[in-house]
Amino acid sequence: MEGNEFQAARWEKETKVGQEAMDRQDWEEAGKHFAAALQIAEGLGEENPRLAVSLQHQAQVQVISGELEEAAEDFHRALKILAKHLGPNHEDVAGCLSGLGLVYNAQGEYDEAASVLSEAREIYTRNLGAEHTRVANVSSQLAEARTGQGELAEAEALLQQALKVYLQKEGPENFSVANVHYQLGKVYDELYRLEEAVASFQVSLSLMEKLDGGPFVAMVLTQLGNSYSDLEDWSKAEASYRRCLELKEQALGPQHLALAETLHDLGLVYHEQGLAAKAEPFFQRVKGIVETAHGSDSVEFAEYLEELAEVYEEQERYDEASELFDRADKILEDHPEEAVLPAELLKEMDQLLKAAASKSKGPRHTPDKKKSTAKKTGGKAKKNKKH
């Protein structure tokens, strides 16, 4: 008995220190202490409540580090323990379901996310009432899943409900309100209600800047630039992307993989206006960054060779374009089983900037073929390539 009490005290200490590290956003230190606490909890029995707490703490760190499959496993294991000890309708069960829903959203598994988040929302509503901030939190997560499912009207309704609760309970200036406006902007953008999207992103940006939102400021600037691009307001799109690029360069340096998304967006601003010569330096930088990160024989690199070749074509530099098309085709022929879409690559890049939470299904205006395929004018490169 005394031994168990001693181990329980050790568990409490490691857990407390880990939580303090999480509050400081020292994820590595938090992970060390949560791992130590988990080891102690494992020794106290397979189904003790402390084990469920430690599993969830470890899962939170795993989400931040991108270990999503491992996080899902830990949340599932914790959920089984909590349901057995507390019953299926306890608030702690809802909290664990919410964590699992976060993982599913980050993985793009929106049907699974919607299922567990709907259950969590029902539990919280029964226990706490519809106007509680925990209900609002889960509603915001569920809205992300519904957006991923294409259920945009329901996503908008959930976000409006969450916004109403946050404004009543927490006031107008906090991260929760900023995030809901960000999510609403993405929903409006998907619905092509672009003026409303811009307005929502501007509110989110203003709050994030005031609250020192760090990487989330860059995230909002990206989406704001995307909406301006859809409106063909090129000067405002360029300003948004340039500011985003500046923030990323300050935080990560000039060659970090996460810069490729914004450099590509800036290149597209010029490309879409028919200004291939101005677009070229941005695509050249993307090419260099992706080559360094993934290698000169990677499918990711080949995708950007093709885009740079299109820029050369528009400048009637057909020999250079043909050389790049041939090189890209050779890489793709050597990797027939790999089909990496640029959007998937850039979603991976963007995740590097999303610290504790993943709040988006990935950038919409990544170099998909609709956006990146140039309208050809003049002659053709020696290699006739189908786009």
Q: Which CATH number is 368's domain given?
A: 1.25.40.10
Of the spans 210-214, 234-238, 333-337, which averages the highest pLDDT?
A: 234-238
Give the pLDDT band (50/70/90) at residue 215: confident
Quick one: pLDDT at residue 1? Answer: 47
In a domain, residue 188? The reply is no
Contact in structure between 374 and 349 (CB atoms under 8 Å)? no
| Domain assignment present for 274 | yes
pLDDT at 145: 97
Residue 70 has pLDDT above 50, yes or no: yes
Mean pLDDT of the chain: 87
Phi and psi, residue 230, nearest 5°: -65, -30
What mean pLDDT do residues 223-228 have? 98
More confident call, 383 vs 66: 66
Residue 108 lies in a domain: no
Judge whether 155 lies within some domain: no
User: In angstroms, rounded to a whole number, what is the distance separating the alpha carbons of residues 303 and 315?
Assistant: 19
Residue numbers of the domain that contains 265: 255-387
- Reply yes or no on whether the pLDDT at 261 is more than 50: yes
Q: What is the rounded CA–CA span in Å between residue 91 and residue 82?
A: 10
pLDDT at 337: 60
Please tell me the predicted confidence (pLDDT) of residue 371.
36
Does 196 have pLDDT greater than 70?
yes
Is 240 a member of any domain?
no
Q: Does any domain span residue 307?
A: yes
Q: What integer is the mean pLDDT of 325-341?
A: 78
pLDDT at 240 over 80: yes
Within a domain: 289:
yes
pLDDT band at 340 (very low <50, low <70, confident <90, very high): very low
pLDDT at 212: 83
- Would you place residue 2 in the very low, low, confident or very high pLDDT band (cuts 50, 70, 90)? low
pLDDT band at 361 (very low <50, low <70, confident <90, very high): very low
pTM flag (> 0.85): no
What percent of the chain is modeled with pLDDT above 70?
Answer: 86
Mean pLDDT of 27-31: 93
Position 158 in a domain: no
pLDDT of residue 28: 93
* Total domains in the fold of the chain: 1
Mean pLDDT within 50-68: 94
- With 50 as the cut, is the pLDDT of residue 67 above it? yes
- 137-186 pLDDT, tens per residue? 999 999 999 999 999 999 999 999 999 999 999 999 999 999 999 999 99
Q: What average pLDDT does this structure show over 75-80? A: 96
Q: Which of 102, 90, 201, 196 is nearest to 143 (CA)?
A: 102
pLDDT at 44: 86
Cα separation, 18 vs 28, in Å, equals: 10
